[in-house]
Amino acid sequence: MNDDFDPEWGTATRGVRAANLRSVEGEHSSAIHMTSSFVFDSAEACAARFGGESPGNIYSRFTNPTVDAFSRRLAAMEGGQSCVATASGMSAILATCLATLESGDHIVAAHTLFGSTIGLFNNYLGKLGISTSYVSPEDLEGWKAAITPATRMLFVETPSNPLTEVVDLAALADLANANDALLVVDNCFCTPALQRPLDFGAHVVTHSATKFLDGQGRALGGAVVGDEDIVGDRVFRFLRTCGPTMSPFNAWIFYKALETLEVRMRAHCISAQRVAEWLSEQPGVEHVYYPGLASHAQHDLARRQQPGGFGGILSLRLSGGRAAAFKLINATRMLSITANLGDTRTTIVHPASTTHARISEADRARAGITEGVVRVSVGLENVDDIIADLARGLE
Ligand SMILES: *Cc1c(COP(=O)(O)O)cnc(C)c1O
Domains and CATH numbers, the chain: 11-260 (3.40.640.10), 262-394 (3.90.1150.10)
> Is the preceding peptide bond at 162 cis, omega within 30 degrees of 0?
yes
Residue 157 C-alpha to ligand 1 middle, in angstroms?
Answer: 11
Percent of residues, the chain, with pLDDT higher than 70: 99
CA dist., res. 297 & res. 277, Å (int):
16
pLDDT at position 4, please?
Answer: 80
For ligand 1, atom 12, name the residue with the nearest CA. Answer: 114
pTM of the model: 0.96
Atom number of ligand 1 nearest to Cα 341: 15
What does the pLDDT look like over 168-215, one tens digit per residue? 999 999 999 999 999 999 999 999 999 999 999 999 999 999 999 999
Average pLDDT over residues 78-87: 98
Task: Please give the pLDDT value at position 2.
Answer: 42
- Please state, rounded to an integer, the average pLDDT across all residues of the chain: 96
215, burial (CB in 10 Å: exposed 0-12, middle 13-18, buried 19+): buried
Q: Which of 188, 214, 340, 355 to mutate to test the pocket of ligand 1 (most atoms within 8 A of CB)?
A: 188
Contact residues of ligand 1, CB 6 A cut-off: 88-90, 114, 116-117, 157, 186, 188, 208, 210-211, 220, 222
| Residue (of 311, 324, 334, 310) closest to 373 by Cα position | 324
The confidence score (pLDDT) of residue 3 equals 58
Q: Which of 110-114, 147-151, 291-295, 327-331 has the weakest average pLDDT?
A: 110-114
pLDDT digits (tens, 9 = 90+) for 229-285: 999 999 999 999 999 999 999 999 999 999 999 999 999 999 999 999 999 999 999
Q: Is 118 within 8 Å of 145 (Cβ atoms)?
A: no
Give the pLDDT confidence score for residue 359 in this predicted structure. Answer: 76
Rounded Cα gap, residues 182 and 267, in angstroms: 33
pLDDT in tens, 282-320: 999 999 999 999 999 999 999 999 999 999 999 999 999
Rounded to the nearest angstrom, the distance between the alpha carbon of 160 and the centre of ligand 1 is 13
268 Cβ contact partners less than 8 Å away, ≥ 6 residues apart: 212, 309, 311, 312, 378, 379, 380
- Ligand 1, atom nearest to 93 Cα: 10
Whether the CB-CB separation of 74 and 258 falls below 8 Å is answered with yes
